[in-house]
């Protein structure tokens, strides 16, 4: 497709309802499920409903977040690692701040040091880069605080750069800091909370597992599962999913036994993050390994206990994170195979190929439609439900590894070259 649309050509209102937000890389509930009243187009083209295309200074796999009519994203620009703000109505850049500098092409496009997504509460926006530098700004771009996680916690030792997105919850910035030298006797991994207003460390606890070698390194992101007093911070990596009390860092439960010592896989590093909905947490692993589902409310080691809803021994997505909604679990394989499971039992309902290409982005659910973005730029729209049906395929012709975002009827797609806004208006 030709690409003649510019941000300045758009006069239609985009994300006009400032109450509509996408504050985390997987949305308001951190699980890829859009609010019930959300809508998004099924098909798009330059001549019909692509509202604008804003070129970006560099490629990245980080996902934009949206609040208050602004879009925030991390991106490299040469050696600069930036947090940028764009106007959601026009796509025009509002401000850019250099969080840190470094080898922006550390591992090429999607694996560079701007891989973690920012997060916002509508007043602040927090970004962390692959060297562990984390910074907080107001939504107007004014600096609030800046800190190096490697200095506050433990010196960073990770093969492909830090890529876990931070989480905002209850006035705290929550992070999982999972890395290490491969020796399980040294305690490099931490989980920590920082005051959103000041950057002060509120709590900092070790994250103990028996993981060794490269399995100590996690590129997954934590999530908050549940609501109110029942909310837990779910961290993921080092052969184990562990939940903490976000108020004080107390460990509440864990699920391990996915990389047994007798047949230990030394590179079972986690990239896909857990997903939670309706009281169920679904934890993937890697290398087509197991997926475990547990119900919230348990304590201690949940593996094999009453709070383990089910486990499948093979078939995990390696990079895209799971999606749980309406009694179903969707697993998008890196090869584009979409698996649908019954959320209560783990029964496999179907396993069908979508686009025959690598898939790095996590799925998005809007109403009854699943949006699956391939690395080559094809977005497949699948009807949600127990029966597989492809509704449309849309080819942007630009590489994608960032997850799709929807706010106020506008679908945002971040490619390696640009950010697109698409809506039926």
User: What DSSP letter does each residue of 57-96 carry, written as one string?
Assistant: SS---PPPEEETTEEEEEEEETTEEEEEEEETTT--EEEE
Number of neighbouring beta carbons within 10 Å of residue 339: 21
> In this predicted structure, what is the pLDDT of residue 44?
96
On the question of pLDDT at 16 being above 50, the answer is no
Band of the pLDDT at 106, cuts 50, 70, 90? Answer: low
Average pLDDT over residues 61-70: 97
Domain ranges for the chain: 7-422
Nearest CA among 46, 2, 22 for reference residue 421: 46
Rounded CA separation 205/104 (Å)? 30
How far apart are alpha carbons 132 and 28 in whole angstroms?
A: 25
Q: What does the pLDDT look like over 159-173, one tens digit per residue? A: 999 999 999 999 999
According to CATH, what is the number of the domain 7-422?
2.130.10.10
Beta pairing class for 300-301 and 251-255: parallel
Question: Is it the case that residue 18 has pLDDT exceeding 50?
Answer: no
Provide Rg for the chain, Cα atoms.
Answer: 20
Encoding tokens for residue 71?
Answer: 């879009």
Q: In the prediction, which pLDDT does 187 show?
A: 86
The angle subtended at Cα 418 by Cα 25 and Cα 406, nearest 5°, is 40
Please name the residue that has the structure tokens 């692509």: 50
The whole-number pLDDT of residue 9 equals: 41
User: What's the whole-number mean pLDDT along residues 327-349?
Assistant: 97
Place of tokens 């295309």: 53
- pTM of the shown model: 0.94
> What was the pLDDT predicted at 105?
56
């Amino acid at each position: 497709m030709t690409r003649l649309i510019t941000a300045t050509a758009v006069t239609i209102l985009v994300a006009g309802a400032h109450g509509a937000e996408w504050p985390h890389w997987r949305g308001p509930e951190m699980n890829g499920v859009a609010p019930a009243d959300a809508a998004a187009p099924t098909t798009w083209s330059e001549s019909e409903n692509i509202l604008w295309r804003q070129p970006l200074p560099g490629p990245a796999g980080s996902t934009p977040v949206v609040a208050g009519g602004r879009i925030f994203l991390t991106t490299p620009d040469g050696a600069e690692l930036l947090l940028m703000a764009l106007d959601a109505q026009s796509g025009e850049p509002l401000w850019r701040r250099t969080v840190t500098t470094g080898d922006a092409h550390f591992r090429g496009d999607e694996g560079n040091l701007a891989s973690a997504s920012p997060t916002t509460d509508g007043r602040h926006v927090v970004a962390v880069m692959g060297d562990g530098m984390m910074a907080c700004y107001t939504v107007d771009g004014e600096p609030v605080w800046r800190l190096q996680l490697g200095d506050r916690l433990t010196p960073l030792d990770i093969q492909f750069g830090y890529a876990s997105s931070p989480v905002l919850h209850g006035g705290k910035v929550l992070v999982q800091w999972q890395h290490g030298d491969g020796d399980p006797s040294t305690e490099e991994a931490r989980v920590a909370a920082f005051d959103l207003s000041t950057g002060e460390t509120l709590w900092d606890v070790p994250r103990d597992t028996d993981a060794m070698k490269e399995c100590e390194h996690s590129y997954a992101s934590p999530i908050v599962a549940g609501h109110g007093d029942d909310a837990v911070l779910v961290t993921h990596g080092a052969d184990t999913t562990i939940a903490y009390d976000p108020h004080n860092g107390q460990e509440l439960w864990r699920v391990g036994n996915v990389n047994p010592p007798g047949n230990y896989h030394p590179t079972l590093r986690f990239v896909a993050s857990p997903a939670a909905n309706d009281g169920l947490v679904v934890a993937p692993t890697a290398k087509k390994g197991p997926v475990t589902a547990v119900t919230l409310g348990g304590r201690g080691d949940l593996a094999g206990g009453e709070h383990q809803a089910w486990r499948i021994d093979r078939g995990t997505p390696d990079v895209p994170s799971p999606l749980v909604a309406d009694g179903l679990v969707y697993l998008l394989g890196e090869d584009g195979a979409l698996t649908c499971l019954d959320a209560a039992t783990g029964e496999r309902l179907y396993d069908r190929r979508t686009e025959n290409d690598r898939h790095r982005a996590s799925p998005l659910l809007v109403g009854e439609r699943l949006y699956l973005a391939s690395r080559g730029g094809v977005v497949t729209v699948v009807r949600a439900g127990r029966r597989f049906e492809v509704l449309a395929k849309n080819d942007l012709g630009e590489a994608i590894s960032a997850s799709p975002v929807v706010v106020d009827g506008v679908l945002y797609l971040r490619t390696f070259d640009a950010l697109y806004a698409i809506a039926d208006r």
